[in-house]
């Protein structure tokens, strides 16, 4: 094949949060990063997916190119880290496996919490960023829209969504286990994005006593606080209100810790050592990990939340098996289309080349004394039948393909044996 689909990245299974946060992209950084990625020789189309659980590059690359090294070098340069610091955590998938991976991620089969709904919206957002940057083309447009369609099928044809909880609800479940009840507790949400909104819904649903919302954009904090009958506080005044919070959930963006060990130690004295529960859903992390060293403080980061959802694993996995069957069917269908991008032009060129030969030979016969008594339609009929019979087997093999390596060998063999593309190459080199 002249091009291939690849997915390269790290996720919550392959890399700890310490590695993922170094590679994470803020949304506003993605368009410029994509333009830099497209400068790499092998990359034709690309998108970047960066969430709290994963950082992935989805790309259409030139065949035979060492795309893996080029993408790793891009990530290292773009994030200002040494490639060797994260290379061992990276997975690289090609062809059908790359397609299957994106379909599974879109359908929330690869999430920390299987069936959580947020991931599809995040993928759509990052696809939109790639479109804005004009980094996508025919292949990735088709691939992402197919992924959205597959995710919808999985959600409607299986019970996977009903069996799962989101990371936000897992955080609230953990708070309930620590405090037993929440009706006399105050929760503070640091950040007012989608994850905080979901956490707010779960907190209200489980009877939280009061809710405080703070966000860098104060208007957004006011809006969320109004929706959930809470109190909005300016971001710069967060420290003043922290002493009121029994539960603190962070999901704000930014590179620096928003809450440090020293700040929490001071707040605990003001609270007379009443326990605090902090849940850090941010990547990069919002809260200093050293907070966990303090007494009467419970700090969990996004990786810790995975253990909260184990109870429903068996039910979710049964539904996941049904979802996997849907995904396999759709992978095969997409692969047939993608393979056709290379196979169909080769078959058309093959037929055209042989047809040109046939017509030249027919003209030679008709223009010679041997062709005086042979009608053109007879010659056309006989020679066309011969050509079709000769081409039937090779064209059938090309259409059937098989595994990516075999298919690529068939295509390359056909092109070389019949000299397809040689004239174009000669014309190009002559110019």
Listed residue (9, 14, 16) closest to 92, CA to CA: 9
Element (H, E) at 212: strand 210-215
Which tokens go with 2? 């002249």
Phi-psi region of 256 (alpha: psi -120 to 50; beta: other; left: phi over 0): beta
* Catalytic positions, written as ranges: 52
Phi first, then psi: give them for residue 403, nearest 5 degrees: -70, 155
Element (H, E) at 183: none
Q: Which long-range contacts (CB under 8 A, 24 or more apart) does 353-359 make?
A: 353/418, 353/419, 353/420, 354/387, 354/390, 354/391, 354/418, 355/387, 358/383, 358/384, 358/387
Q: Give the whole-angstrom CA distance, residue 184 versus residue 391.
A: 79
**385: buried, middle or exposed (CB in 10 Å: 19+, 13-18, 0-12)?**
exposed
Identify whether the C-beta of residue 264 lies closer than 8 Å to the C-beta of residue 297.
yes
Identify whether the C-beta of residue 78 lies closer than 8 Å to the C-beta of residue 34.
no
Listed residue (341, 336, 331) closest to 96, CA to CA: 331
Concatenated DSSP letters for 322-353?
HHHHHHHHHHHHHHHHHHHHHHHHHHHHHHHH
Residue that the structure tokens 């092109």 belong to: 415
Neighbours of 36 (CB within 10 A): 13
Q: Give the whole-angstrom CA distance, residue 221 versus residue 227.
A: 10
Identify whether the C-beta of residue 151 lies closer than 8 Å to the C-beta of residue 345.
no
């Amino acid at each position: 094949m002249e091009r291939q689909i690849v997915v390269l990245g790290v996720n919550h299974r392959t890399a700890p949060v310490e590695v993922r946060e170094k590679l994470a992209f803020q949304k506003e950084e993605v368009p410029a990063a994509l333009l830099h990625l497209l400068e790499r020789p092998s990359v034709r189309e690309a998108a970047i997916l960066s969430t709290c659980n994963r950082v992935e590059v989805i790309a259409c690359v030139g065949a035979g190119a060492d795309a893996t090294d080029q993408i790793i070098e891009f990530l290292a340069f773009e994030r200002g880290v040494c490639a060797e610091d994260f290379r061992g955590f990276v997975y690289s998938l090609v062809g059908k496996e790359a397609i299957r991976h994106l379909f599974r991620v879109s359908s929330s089969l690869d999430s920390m919490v299987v069936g959580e709904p947020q991931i599809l919206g995040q993928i759509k957002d990052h696809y939109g960023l790639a479109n804005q940057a004009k980094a996508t083309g025919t292949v990735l447009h088709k691939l992402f829209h197919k992924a959205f369609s597959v995710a919808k099928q999985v959600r409607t044809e299986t019970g996977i969504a009903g069996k799962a909880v989101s990371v936000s609800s897992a955080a609230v479940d953990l708070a309930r286990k620590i405090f037993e009840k929440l009706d006399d507790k105050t929760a503070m949400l640091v950040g007012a994005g989608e994850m905080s909104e979901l956490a707010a819904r779960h907190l209200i649903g489980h009877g939280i006593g009061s809710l405080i919302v703070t966000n860098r954009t104060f208007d957004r904090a006011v809006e969320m606080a109004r929706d959930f009958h809470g109190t909005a506080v300016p971001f710069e005044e967060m420290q003043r209100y922290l002493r009121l919070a029994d539960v603190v959930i962070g999901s704000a963006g930014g590179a620096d810790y928003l809450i440090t060990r020293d700040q929490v130690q001071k707040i605990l004295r003001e609270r007379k050592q009443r326990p605090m529960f902090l849940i850090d859903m941010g990547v990069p992390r919002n809260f200093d990990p050293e907070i966990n060293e303090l007494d009467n403080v419970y700090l969990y980061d996004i990786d810790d939340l995975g253990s909260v959802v184990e109870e429903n694993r068996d039910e979710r996995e049964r539904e996941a098996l049904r979802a996997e069957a849907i995904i396999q069917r759709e992978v095969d269908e997409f692969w047939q289309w993608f393979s056709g991008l290379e196979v169909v032009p080769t078959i058309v060129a093959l037929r055209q080349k042989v047809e040109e030969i046939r017509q030249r030979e027919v003209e030679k016969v008709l223009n010679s004394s041997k062709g005086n008594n042979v009608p053109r339609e007879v010659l056309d009929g006989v020679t066309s039948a011969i050509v079709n019979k000769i081409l039937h087997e090779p064209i059938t093999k090309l259409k059937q393909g098989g595994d990516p390596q075999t298919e690529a060998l068939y295509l390359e063999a056909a092109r070389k044996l019949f000299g397809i593309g040689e004239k174009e190459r000669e014309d190009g080199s002559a110019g």
